[in-house]
Structure 1
């Protein structure tokens, strides 16, 4: 009985230690930022991460990102990228949440760099 208890005490810490590394869990993946489009790539990210507070009905902070023209206002004045990149001088978004995954930020940045087309 004592041997079993001792063995359990030695093995349990090894089993209980687990390190979640995104690269180890999911492998290394490339972030495809070529041919990013508003409708297929950017809009779903904005809907999933921003509309909870910044759709037309919520309008928190007087910021509405619903609709291409409204979103484009924040693209053109630099607030969209400043906020999602957590750039000093901008209110970091999503508020009180972790920063978006880097790949998603880079997709939005690539779309902005391409002129933010409404496609």
Structure 2
């Protein structure tokens, strides 16, 4: 039986650079090269935590395209490629380990790692 490990932030950072930095910027603050032409502007991804809690379930559902409720505009693409591959167990905050595609989990772990107060 193969042991499944959670991705490290560096794995998610590589996916972020490839899929998200054009709009959200290399640092995730929403100042990527395409940001100036976007209305509304991209979200500052370093400010997603609310009261010290990172909203894992919401972040995963926005990235995978499942939930875009409350997002202004329709600029953010769905990332179907992030839904492929092996899964890892992720606790999204409800204490239940949910099988999540590794690339999607890696991106979430990276975004959680760049949160600022």
TM-score by length of 1: 0.44
Give me the TM-score of the superposition, normalised by structure 2: 0.44
Q: Which has the higher contact order (CA 8 A, sep 6+)?
A: 2
Structure with bigger helix share is 1
Higher Cα radius of gyration: 1
